[in-house]
Structures are given as structure tokens and as C-alpha cells.
Structure 1
Amino acid sequence: MSTLALSDTRAVLGRHLRRMRRVPGLLVITLTMPVTMLLFFGYVFGSAVALEGGANYRAYLVPGLFAVTAVNGVMTSMLASAQDSQRGVMDRFRTLPMSRFALPAGQTAADVTLAAIGTVPLVLCGLAVGWRIEGGAAGAAGAFALLLLFRLVTAWLGHYLGLVLGNEETAGQMAGATFMLPLLSNAYVPTEGMPGWLRTVAEWNPISALTTACRELFGNSSAAADASWPVAHPVLAATGWAVLLLAVFVPLTVRRYARDSA
């Protein structure tokens, strides 16, 4: 990456961070939504979910919510990108002598920064409801690094979708569909009790690999012996999914942005 591209990316990153400061509601939602989900699922549905060995469901749930928060980068970036496209912000950026890589890179970097901030209250609330980091500092660092990597991946994916849609209302309707993805995974409930075909689909969901990788790195649990390959080798699978999706959507996003400016 050239020095000019890095400088332009930092400028776009600064613009989005300043934008967040002027829209405090966005920061409030980012900080409170994962905690709200933990309290809702943990206490409303928790009593109905029985885990093997009588394990604490809320402790089981926390790594899943970390993964869900990482995947929500699709929704936030898609909405921001579609909003900027519809309101002409993208067109104004295209008139500037700046790297075509800088705008999506700066926006995704800002999204990852916001997600990192939003992880803090979820960690504190998780500790308060019984979740613990039992795999050591190195494992915990690896888990958080993997979560931020996935947030970066989904931010690029969301930015691409926002550019394709180009309409804030359409992106909002599409964002609602992203809530279904974590439901078809092991983020909220174990897959062992699902019908065979549904279990296979759920375990090949990248969210399941990410969730299981976090649980293993945090030292909370490991995959079942008869799990599908991505869940049986979660760290490798989650990293592979991340690399593959980045390799696909980074060039697609930059190409789409450049094509629209032609």
C-alpha cells in the first residue's frame, strides 16, 4: 500500500470517528445492544436451555454474543455505505484526488474501532453473570484478535453490499435479514440437538466456527466429538473463512467503488 493510500485512509478513518462523536446514539447502541442481548437471551431463554453437565447457559452464551457482535459488521457497514451513497457523500469523495482504496478501508477501520469499544461492556457484563476466561492470557488475546479480524471481514462485506444497494431503505430491510444468520449457528444453542441436516448447515455456518473458536480459546468448552469439520477445527476454519472472505470482498469493494466513479 502506498504512502498516499495510507494517508487517505487515515483521513477517512478520522472523518468517520468524528461522525460517531456527533451521533452519540450510535455509540450508545453499540455499547448497550450486546449487553441487552445477553440479559435477554441469558435470563429470558436461559432457563429453557439445558446444557450437558448442567453448565451455566449464560457463560456458554457470552462467546456466542462476541461472535454475533463481530458479524454485525455486515449490518452497520452496509447501512453506512448505503446512506453515504444515497446522500451523495460517495460522489463528493470520488471528485477528490484520493486513493480508491482509502474510502472503504477507512470506513471499515472505523467500524472495527467502534466494535472494539463495544466489546468492553459485554466483557464486563459477561464476567458479572458468571462467564470466565479460563484459557489463559494468550488464548484470550487470540480470541479477541480473531473477533476483530471477523469484524473487519464483515465490515468489508457490508460495505460492498451497501455500494451495490445504494439505497438506505433497501439496506435497512436487508439488514433485518442478517439477524437470521446467528440463529442458524451454535451461538445461542448447541447444535447437537438439531436434526442431522440442520446441524450440518449450522456447523458449516462461519459463525459457528468463530463461536467455537472463541469458546476454545477462552477455555470455556470444546467441540463435540462428532461435529462437522469447521466446528471440530474451529480456529483453523474461522481463520480460513476470514482470509477467504477478505480475498473476495476487498477487491470487489474497491472495484465497485472505482467503477461507480467512472
Structure 2
Amino acid sequence: MSTTTPALPRRSPLSRAGWALTDAWTITRRDLNHWALRPGTVIVGWAFPVMIVLMFGGLFGGAISVPGGGGYFEFLMPGMFTMTMLFGLETTMTAVATDASRGVTDRFRSMPMNASAVVLGRCAADMLNSIVGLSIMIGAGLLLGWRWHGGPAAALAAVGLLLLLRAALLWAGILIGLVAGGPESLASVQILVWPVGFLSNVFVDPATMPAWLGAIAAWNPLSATASATRELFGNPGWGGESWIAQNAMPMAVVWPLLLTAIFLPLSVRRFRRLGS
């Protein structure tokens, strides 16, 4: 089904920017209202990473030798912060696919609203959700004995890198949700989230893997963010002599920017082609 957007009056660039932000905020409030009507789903999404931390800490913590010594949670938490950013990908994919399959996205596109508002509103809502989820994870880590040792500025920089990764993954989630066409089609994609997360240095040193598999894990964008946040928080990490291991900090910025450069235009193009 094709949709026709009504003709809109000409606006100045500043006026168009304000119009886009106003419409985007409307979409954001719409998504937040949906979460308020289904608090159980949102709370489970926030609690799930905490459950994973408790499981790994309780079941495997005593069997894993922390590099450089120290407590297991000191090593685990920065990696789990990174995994939490990845878990948010499923929320984005499901919400976008649901709206697209029910025709909600087409109805938005037929309204006299800025074309970017639907995507921007989705991004804003999911980023707010991710900020709350990351705050809960940090609080859980503090209760379990995790601490940062790099000072407030370094800790804020680490949080910034985590949210930068989440913002990049948002665009991947939007594209996958638009392509999937419905929540049922996402099952096979969601299964891949776990292998992507585990095929990194979050839990295991890539040096212990077969050479080809370790190379993939080392170049996983999650590995760069996990290593960089461990360094900024002053927590123990795997280290390594490879180029990617030695340059985790700049790569924690380069990878999200590269992912955004790839998935943002693809998402926008796919959104514009919906219903055509």
C-alpha cells in the first residue's frame, strides 16, 4: 500500500528543525506512554542484564582467573555494561517491526509531520530507556562490589562510549525491524544477538580461542568498547599485543561512527520506501 504525504507549506531551515524536533518529541512521548501501559515488559528488560550478572558472578566467578588479580565483578561489570547496550537492540527491532506490520508507520507517514520525526522519536525513546537500564546496571554493580578507579571524568567518558555504541546499534535495530516486516520474522535475528555478544572479549580472552575465531572476537566492536571502558573505569582487562587490542580506545569511537555511517542512511532509505 502506498501513502501520499500531504503538501506542506515552505519553511525556513530553522523552522523545519524546530518542526522536526516537535514532531519527534510527540513520537517519543507516544513510545513512553506505551511503556507506562506495559511496565512489566520494561522492568523485565531492565532486570534481565542484572540477572545475567548474578548468574555469571555466582556460577563462574570463582572459576575464572581475573587478569592482574582482583575481584571478578571488577572485571565483569564493564563487559556487562557493553552487553546491556547490545541487548537494547532487541527492544528497538521489536518495536519498529511491530509498528511497521500494524500499519502504524504508514499512518505516521501519511500525516503532515516531518519525515524524520518517526525515526528520531524512536531513537530518543530508546536512548532514554538505555540510560535508565545502564543506570540500573551501574547501581547493581556498586551493590555487588564493583568500583571505578579512574576518577569522575574517566567514568563519564566510559558512560559516553557505552551510549555512543547504543546509539549506533539503534540504527541497526531500526533497519532490521523495517526489513523484517513483523515481530514473528525477528526470531531468527534475535537468536544471533547472543553469539555476537559472546564472540567478543566480554567474557573470554580472544587469545585463548582458535586464531581465526580470536581475530573475529578481537575485532568485534563490542570488544573495543569493553576494553576501553575497563581502561577508563580502572578495572582489569585482558590486554594483548595485537594492533586492535592496543588501540581499543580510539576504536571504541571509530566503530560506532562507522556503524552509524552504514546503518543510518540505509534505515532512512528503507523508511522512505515503506509502502511503495
1:193-208, aligned counterparts within 5 Å? 193-208=208-223
Instruction: After superposing the two structures, state which structure 1 stretch, 231-240 or 214-223, moved more.
Output: 214-223
Give the TM-score of the pair, scaled to structure 1.
0.94
2:133 maps to which residue?
A: 118
Residue of structure 2 equivalent to 1:108: 123
Aligned 8 A contact 1:85 1:167 in 2:
yes
CA contact (8 A) 2:67 2:238 kept: no
Match of 1:127 among 142, 149, 154: 142
Quick one: structure 1 residues 225 and 45, their matched pair in 2 at CA, closer, same or farther if it must change by over 3 Å? closer
Question: What is the one-letter code of the residue matched to 2:60?
Answer: F
User: Is 2:196 aligned against 1:181?
Assistant: yes
1:3 corresponds to which letter in structure 2?
A: G
What pairs with 1:89-104 in structure 2 (closer than 5 Å)? 89-104=104-119
1:209 partnered with 2:248: no
Per-residue deviation at 1:222? Answer: 5.0
Q: Which amino acid aligns with 1:241?
A: W
For structure 1, list consecutive stretches of 5 or more residues without a partner in the other structure.
Answer: none
Note the alpha carbon deviations across 1:110-162, whole angstroms, 9 max, x for none. 11101111122211221122211101000100011111111111111101110
1:242 corresponds to which letter in structure 2? P
Amino acid at match of 2:255: W
Larger-gyration structure (1/2): 2
User: Retained in 2: the 8 A contact 1:185–1:205?
Assistant: yes
Q: Which of 74, 82, 89 is residue 67 of structure 1 equivalent to?
A: 82
Deviation at 1:70, TM superposition (A): 0.9
1:219 equivalenced with 2:234 (yes/no): yes
Q: Is the 8 A contact 2:168 2:256 kept in 1?
A: yes
Task: Give the alignment partner of residue 137 of structure 1, picking from 139, 152, 168.
Answer: 152
User: Aligned to 1:96, what secondary structure does the other structure show?
Assistant: coil
Distance, in Å, in 1 between the alignment partners of 2:172 and 2:215 is 24
Match status 1:237 vs 2:270: no
Q: Aligned pair 1:163/2:201, yes or no?
A: no
Match of 1:154 in 2: 169
Q: Is the 8 Å Cα contact of residues 10 and 106 (structure 1) preserved in structure 2?
A: yes
Asked if 2 retains the 8 angstrom alpha-carbon contact of 1:157 and 1:249, the reply is yes
Other structure's SS at 2:208 match: coil
Listed as ranges, the gaps of 5+ residues in structure 2 are 1-15
Q: Sequence identity of aligned pairs in percent?
A: 39
1:261–1:102 CA distance, 2 compared to 1 (3 A): farther
SS at match of 1:55: coil
- 2:269 corresponds to: 255
RMSD: 1.5
With over 3 angstroms needed to count, the CA separation of the structure-2 counterparts of 1:65 and 1:222, relative to structure 1, is: closer
Q: Which residue of 2 aligns with 1:78?
A: 93
TM-score by length of 2: 0.90
**Cα separation, 2, equivalents of 1:189 and 1:44:** 15
By how many angstroms is 1:207 displaced?
Answer: 0.4
Contact 2:68–2:236 (Cα < 8 Å) also in 1 = no
Count of residues in Structure 1 that have an aligned counterpart in Structure 2: 261
2:46 pairs with 1:31: yes
- Structure 1 residues 74, 92: closer, same or farther in 2, change over 3 A? same
Describe the superposition over 1:23-78 as per-residue Cα deviations: whole angstroms up to 9, x where unpaired. 10222113211110100111112222222343322221100010011122321111
